[in-house]
Amino acid sequence: MNALLKISAKAALAGAAAMAMVSFAQAADISGAGATFPYPIYAKWADAYKKNTGVGLNYQSIGSGGGIKQIEARTVTFGATDKPLGGEELEKNGLVQFPTVMGGIVPVINVEGVKPGELVLDGETLAKIFMGEITQWNDEAIAKLNPDAKLPDAAIAVVHRSDGSGTTFNFTYYLGEVSSDWSDKIGVNTSVEWPVGIGAKGNEGVAANVGQTANSIGYVEYAYALQNKMTYADMINKDGQKVAPESAAFAAAAEGADWSSQPGFGVILANQPGAKSWPMTAATFILMHEEPDSAEDSAAALKFFEWAYAEGDDMAQTLDYIPMPDAVVEKVEQEWAKIQSDGKAVYAPSK
């Protein structure tokens, strides 16, 4: 990446998302913190925006839970989360919420001799692996789905998130949809009591741990699988079809989404119907205060996101994120009028 983009070497090597950040040497940098799911595209946008405008972005990739805490504490101009907040929580904290992009969560594996897309899993089998009920790669359930695969007689090493994570929320939401046992015993949240496995911070941490651990499996946002050249598994979707993680499959899952049906556009895209739909598709969201401490800082952040909506689609697609539809962007930018100072909107989009 461009030299202007400074990422902690320790975080990059160890995969520790807690301290990873997009940072530029400018006093007036826009400040944000939260989800690791969108970090690759926020980094790419930030680099391009800095070149175009001279304005930098300081984004701490610390997980959705951390992003929610920081925006509630007013230590950043915006928070970022992959778990959309409900209407009551948004109202209680005086927050505006809006989506930026959509992407896919994928199972990533490190099994010798298995290449990307050569292994397929279904939701029930994936749930049993992460519950510790399927413990060997050559288990009958995996073998039945993959009759031609050379599966080792080796224990499965499970890697999961250790931090409060919107990726975990969407992953566990999907598992809860397809497995009543998961729903009853583990549940759905940004952080759960994992029955098995080792924890890692951020998508970066899970990617690094899976890459370093033989016979392992984890879950990450697809951009991390691409950037780290990881082996991923295909999935059987709600319609019983085998699908690969790719932008067309993520877009198919979001096709019928009614974004206006939930406060703050908080739509869940997991386990959507459709023969081409990727079952673990998710949107990622920004949180900002309706009454910010600094009108100038909030205006700068909104100007950045307006630019990202208008100029950032191609960059998002190179990382297999799905841009928000124009009709949704129009409604989002109308919502920005709620962010006010002295009774006036802090920023009016140019179009």
Counting every residue, how long is the chain?
Answer: 351
> What is the reported pLDDT for 350?
87
- Nearest to residue 244, comparing CAs of 104, 38, 110, 127? 104
Region 162-189: mean pLDDT is 97
Flag the least confident range among 24-38, 58-72, 197-211, 282-296: 24-38
| Reported pTM | 0.88
Region 148-163: mean pLDDT is 96
Q: Are residues 115 and 234 in the same domain?
A: yes
Q: Are residues 98 and 122 in the same domain?
A: no
Q: Is residue 269 a part of any domain in this protein?
A: no
DSSP line for 265-291: G----BT--STT--TBEEEEEEEEESS
| Gap between the Cα atoms of 103 and 110, Å rounded | 22
Q: Is residue 263 a part of any domain in this protein?
A: no
For 214-242, give one letter per residue: b (16+ CB within 10 A) or e. Answer: eebbbbbbbbbbbebebbbbbbbbbeeee
Q: Is residue 271 a part of any domain in this protein?
A: no
Residue whose structure tokens are 């005086």: 94
> Percent helix, strand, coil in the chain (nearest 5)?
40, 20, 40
> What is the reported pLDDT for 270?
96
The CATH number covering residue 67 comes to 3.40.190.10
| Gap between the Cα atoms of 339 and 74, Å rounded | 14
Q: Are residues 64 and 127 in the same domain?
A: no
As a whole number of Å, the CA-based R_g of the chain is: 20
Region 18-25: mean pLDDT is 39
Q: Are residues 92 and 122 in the same domain?
A: no
> What is the reported pLDDT for 12?
37
Q: Are residues 206 and 69 in the same domain?
A: no
pLDDT in tens, 268-313: 999 999 999 999 999 999 999 999 999 999 999 999 999 999 999 9
> What is the reported pLDDT for 28?
67
Q: Are residues 210 and 294 in the same domain?
A: no
Domain housing 40: 9-103+280-345
| Gap between the Cα atoms of 350 and 336, Å rounded | 12
> What is the reported pLDDT for 256?
85
> What is the reported pLDDT for 80?
98
